[in-house]
Amino acid sequence: MEKLILAIDQGTTSTTALLVNDKLEVVARSSTEVLPSYPQYSWVEHDLDQIWEATLNTIKKLLDESKVQPAQIAGIGITNQRETVGAWSRRTMIPFHKAIVWQCRRTSDRCLELKKMSGLEQKIRKITGLVLDPYFSATKMEWLLKNVPNLKAKADSGELAFGTIDSFLVYRMSFGLSHVTDVSNASRTMLMDLESLSWDRSLLELFGIPENTLPKIHSSSEIYGRTKNMRLLPDGIPICGILGDQQAALFGQLCTAHGEAKATYGTGSFLMCNTGSEIVHSKHGLLTTVAWKIGDQTSYALEGSAFVAGAAVQFLRDNLGIIRSSSEIEGLALSAADKDMGELVFVPALTGLGAPHWKSEARGMFYGLTRGTTRAHLARATLEGIALQNDDLLGAVQEDISPKRLQSLRVDGGASANNYLMQLQSDLAGLKIVRPKVLETTALGAAMVAGLAVKIWPNLESLRAAWKLDREFDPAGNLEKVHSLKTKWRTAIRRVCLE
């Protein structure tokens, strides 16, 4: 009987499950929509019970449609939206409140208050590698303790469990026996020391978070617990791999050596570069984070995020009606000639600018519109804007890891299927772009670390032998076009950042 790994990818808008065999082939796939709610302006929440039910429904559909026997599942890997944090009862597993999603900005004022404390921002950056921002989990937990009735008393009595989504899923799958997280998720809470890989006591005290409420920090590939009372699955299946979503994509792309990088083109765009055992503190607006820990080996990474990538294409489709489906944009963009683009440039700052600019107040802009501008020009400018903001991230990574040079960039996510966008990215960066057969590398990465823990794959070499390439894009060498695009972009970014 063929042994399979069940990979669960719990994202912001859906829960996806894959069954992966030892050849790194996706045997079956299923997905269930699970949408956040918006109770107030800038607040974003998830119902943990809905996430759990969506996980169960997704697994059920996967097994029903694939006809796979649950006994074939050798291990379970989990990847997840990272900074989203929940609070639940250790005894009943019932949530005390909705989970606060990574996108939520309710603690913005608290972060501004903390930034006024002399030296605190620099201290947090040095310990955690992160910027002081509502994006991360620490101020979300603090808010819950201060605003949810009786939650502080639950913490004092030992009943409260805090955790990111990976922790919650493992807790429910093991029927409350395992309260754990891995280093990649813990590194996104703004509470973990990058060097010791442990909760930092001074930061716990700053935010008033009792350590006994937090999960134990483990490696990314080991047996954390086993399934119990799940109805759909037999008891005893090892839960044996955890990675935050972007780290999972990095591993799924097998960027396991220093200087290897990937870019995920989803709703936003996330660039991550492996820095090996070296903790590199960015001088160019990137975050420092843990990539993973496997065995005794910890790998670190630099990360830059652009908040809008595929969402810019959705904006053309849903808000402006320029295209009817996202797949139309490539053909429409190609119908616009270079010579007709003029000064037209698009800055996709529809929800602010992320790294390396970090301008949350910035807003999107089409600049250079004329009476001759058409749908095709706007489509092309949109794809160019996505590639240009990623080129900024690549430039920041290159500066931070210098004198080492990036040799290539591995890509994944829905928008990486767009050949025009990938060729343009290669031209702008002067890098080979490598696209794999399986674009769902987030779930694939979770399957890989789980499979390593239970010896579906004995080592990294066996994974490399199974990994499959779809296509490579090499720089076309049109330096004049590249120079023109970058000049327009720099001018537009200055305008956006000043306004």
Q: Mean pLDDT for the chain?
A: 92
* Tokens of residue 53, six digits: 């039910």
Residue 246 included in any domain: no
* Tokens of residue 301, six digits: 């990474």
pLDDT band at 496 (very low <50, low <70, confident <90, very high): confident
Intra-chain end-to-end CA distance of the chain, in Å? 62
* Tokens of residue 124, six digits: 């947090």
The candidate with the shortest Cα–Cα distance to 346, out of 305, 316, 372, 319, is: 316
C-beta separation of 409 from 295 below 8 A: no
Provide the pLDDT for residue 425: 95
Provide the pLDDT for residue 178: 97
Tens of pLDDT, residues 104-121: 889 989 999 999 999 999
Tens of pLDDT, residues 20-51: 999 999 999 999 999 889 999 889 899 999 99
Residue 461 included in any domain: no
Whether residues 320 and 410 fall in one domain: yes
Amino acid letter, residue 228: K
Provide mean pLDDT across the span 361-374: 87
List strand residue ranges (DSSP E) for 375-483, in order: 408-412, 432-436, 469-473
Distance CA(476)–CA(484), nearest Å, equals 15
Domain that holds residue 105: 4-236
Distance CA(142)–CA(114), nearest Å, equals 13
Whether residues 72 and 14 fall in one domain: yes
At residue 298, the 3 state secondary structure works out as: strand
Whether residues 227 and 330 fall in one domain: no
Provide mean pLDDT across the span 347-353: 83
Whether residues 288 and 332 fall in one domain: yes
Tens of pLDDT, residues 281-304: 998 889 999 999 999 999 999 999
Residue keyed to tokens 């409140």: 97
Provide the pLDDT for residue 314: 87
Distance CA(360)–CA(60), nearest Å, equals 41
C-beta separation of 32 from 15 below 8 A: yes
* Total count of residues recorded for the chain: 499
Residue 447 included in any domain: no
Residue keyed to tokens 């050798």: 74
Residue keyed to tokens 């796979």: 68
Total domain count, the chain: 2
**Cα-only R_g, the chain:** 22
